[in-house]
Amino acid sequence: MPFQLPFRFGSSSGSTAIDSRARPSKMMEYDQLLVWVVLILMLLGMVMVYSASIALPDSPKYAAYKNNYFLVRQAIFITVAVLAALFIFRVPIATWQRSAPYLFIGTLVLLVLVLIPGLGVSVNGGRRWLSLKVFNFQPSEMMKVVMVLYAADYTVRKQEYMHKLTKGFMPMALAVSFVGMLLLLEPDLGAFGVIVCIAMGILFLGGINAIWFGGIGAMLVTIFVTIIALSPFRRARFFAYLNPWEEGNAQDKAYQLTHSLIAFGRGEFFGQGLGGSLEKLHYLPEAHTDFLMAVIGEELGLAGVLVVVAMFYWLIKRAFDIGRQAIAIDQTFAGLVAKGIGIWIGVQTFINMGVNLGLLPTKGLTLPLMSYGGTGIVINCVGLAVLLRIDYENRVLMRGGRV
């Protein structure tokens, strides 16, 4: 039986409501396969988080924790994320478009609050969290989905200026630069990189001048190289990544990378079996967060890794398909948002997997939907709920309904 929402959205006049009375076809009202892929990724992630963290209480740092501490919290995060997604799915895309500038300003305020001593929570040398008593909230995660909405709204509003530098690109560049400055003060170079990719990707899809895009891309590469060159810590990590097995690197700056590679090597084709990882036994730091993919590789082998990669590939491709469909029926903002969500999930997944496999320098970015973390799971589900909403409205319009 197809899913049907028991209410209409918008005002009583029907100007922004979805008219569900016109149904000339039996088309499903939501993408069931997309929902199942997201749920499978989250549930598999929860299992692997439990496997990767079960031995952590043996170390002094986590001595006060129970063996199932991270499992229980991840289950709670997933429950909250699903409830949040159900709520977000009810919000019309037109409402997100109207709210985008205000959400952007509000998230900027949160990024400033993180930097204020007494308000921001410092963990492992980074000040990226606000304490909500029950768990720590990370505004940089929220900025990813907000940047998708803001960049899409900006591109639609400034469509006639997209080929001009001063009126088309510069205002957006200044906004992203301000976000970047706040993120680098935390510091969170990884989140900054993802947010820049989101903004640039949406501007490119929105029709920005190709010459300006190429020049700005080169400038951004120069900026990132300069940031790495001027930071002794980041510079040491970069050179260690180039040759992790060099004497001194394996036990210092490349310690995580070498143990991640050892985990993949031990996994071979079909893995050591669920729970059979040795690297998670206090050899591989952050095995339940940034390096969860290495544990998957060790316990489930190449077969498990390829299944995870295939699901993420399908998810990202589906986001772009939904975006193309929306643009084809003149829903430009919705189309750019859908593609922006695909860019966000795709870039972050690529960076996380690339770091785990030694293709990219070590950087603290979690694997979307799977790694341990409350804010990340909730925000991922919020973004994907918006994607499902776009697909839902596409289906209503194609059935002859009104949005």
Nearest partner of 223 among 166, 283, 173, judged by Cα: 173
| Residue 23: partners with Cβ closer than 8 Å, 6 or more residues away | 399, 400, 401
- Return the domain boundaries, the chain: 41-90+246-398, 95-230
The b/e string for 270-279 (b: 16+ C-beta within 10 A; e otherwise) is: ebbeeeebeb
Task: Using only the alpha carbons of the chain, give its radius of gyration.
Answer: 22
CA distance 316 to 320: 7
| Residue 67: partners with Cβ closer than 8 Å, 6 or more residues away | 54, 55, 57
Is residue 268 predicted with pLDDT exceeding 60?
yes
**Identity of residue 42:** M
Measure the CA angle with vertex 94, ends 93 and 98; round to 5°.
120
> What is the residue-wise DSSP string for 178-235?
HHHHHHHHTT-HHHHHHHHHHHHHHHHHTT--HHHHHHHHHHHHHHHHHHHHH-HHHH
**Distance from chain centroid for Cα 190:** 11
The mean per-residue pLDDT over the stretch 182-190 comes to 86
- Residue 28: what pLDDT? 65
Q: Give the model confidence (pLDDT) of 270-305 as tens digits.
A: 999 999 999 999 899 889 999 999 999 999 999 999
- Residue that has been written with the tokens 């040759």 in this structure: 243
- The overall average pLDDT reported for the chain is 86
| Residue 345: partners with Cβ closer than 8 Å, 6 or more residues away | 312, 315, 316, 319, 368, 380, 383
Q: Is the peptide bond before 2 cis (omega within 30 degrees of 0)?
A: no
Give the bridge partners for 10, in sequence order: none
CA distance 367 to 64: 26
| Residue 398: partners with Cβ closer than 8 Å, 6 or more residues away | 27, 329
**Distance from chain centroid for Cα 81:** 14
Grade residue 9 by pLDDT with cuts at 50, 70 and 90.
Answer: very low
| Residue 270: partners with Cβ closer than 8 Å, 6 or more residues away | 300, 301, 302, 303
The mean per-residue pLDDT over the stretch 196-217 comes to 82
Q: Give the model confidence (pLDDT) of 105-151 as tens digits.
A: 999 999 999 988 878 787 766 788 888 777 788 999 999 999 999 99
> What is the residue-wise DSSP string for 46-64?
HHHHHHHHTTGGGSGGGTT
The answer to whether residues 276 and 299 touch, using CB atoms and an 8 Å cutoff, is: yes
- Residue 248: what pLDDT? 67
Grade residue 7 by pLDDT with cuts at 50, 70 and 90.
Answer: very low
